[in-house]
Structure 1
Amino acid sequence: MKLNMEEKKILYAFGCGNLENTVRRLKWITAMTVDTKAKRRVLCLARKLDSKNVREWYPCFYRRLRLEMERYFEAKKYIHVVETSTDWEDLYGKAV
């Protein structure tokens, strides 16, 4: 299964290791979402995850997704620090 970055972020925020609970939670979020584009994205993700062959490999997939997204957000923070920093002292705490 291929997920785009938006779907990965949704699953990172609202998913868990239990597939049934994740699909149920995504359907509840779909019901509560007002924005039609966001509603469509969440519902499409819930439908992708609600197929028969996903049950077997979902726990491993979810753990890997969590690790990938944690690395992604860490890299994003680091890039932000580098872009906003004008002096190398801010990054390392000492003059270079």
Structure 2
Amino acid sequence: MKLTFDEKKLLYVYGNPDLALTRKRLYGVAGLTVDPDQNKLVLDFCRKLEGETLTDWYGQMFYFVRSEMEHYTMMQKMSRDIEEDKEWRKEDFVEPDDNV
């Protein structure tokens, strides 16, 4: 099963190691969502999680996606810290010119 980045974010925020509880949470989120586009995204993801073969390896997928999203968040924070650093200059990371 391939997941989009938005689906990974949903799983990271509302997911649970138990597939049945994840589905229940996501259906609850879909019921509370006012934005029609977001509601469609959540409901489509719920339907994607309805597959029978998913129950065997959902736990592994959940922890893998969780780890991936935590690393993504950490890299975003590190990037933001670097850009806000007063000592950091883009010129420091320019490729050297071999012709000189």
**TM-score range for the pair, normalised by the shorter chain length:** 0.7 to 0.9
- The aligned residue for residue 48 of structure 2 is 48
For these two proteins, the number of residue pairs brought into alignment is 88
Q: Indicate the SS of the match to 1:2.
A: coil
- The aligned residue for residue 35 of structure 1 is 35
- Runs of at least 4 residues off by over 6 Å: none
Matched letter for residue 87 of structure 2: D
- The aligned residue for residue 17 of structure 1 is 17
After TM superposition, the score normalised by the length of structure 1 is: 0.88
Matched letter for residue 64 of structure 1: F
Structure 1 unaligned residues grouped into runs of 5+: 89-96
Query: Counterparts of 1:2 and 1:18 in 2: how far apart (Å)?
Result: 19
Query: Counterparts of 2:3 and 2:83 in 1: how far apart (Å)?
Result: 28
Instruction: State the shift of 1:10 in Å.
Output: 0.8
Query: Counterparts of 1:10 and 1:19 in 2: how far apart (Å)?
Result: 13
Aligned-residue sequence identity (percent) comes to 35
Instruction: State the shift of 1:26 in Å.
Output: 0.4
Matched letter for residue 22 of structure 1: T
Which structure ranks higher in relative contact order (CA pairs < 8 Å, sequence separation ≥ 6)?
A: 2
Pairing of 1:1-96 with structure 2 (within 5 A)? 1-88=1-88
**How big is the alpha-carbon RMSD for the aligned residues of Structure 1 and Structure 2?**
0.9
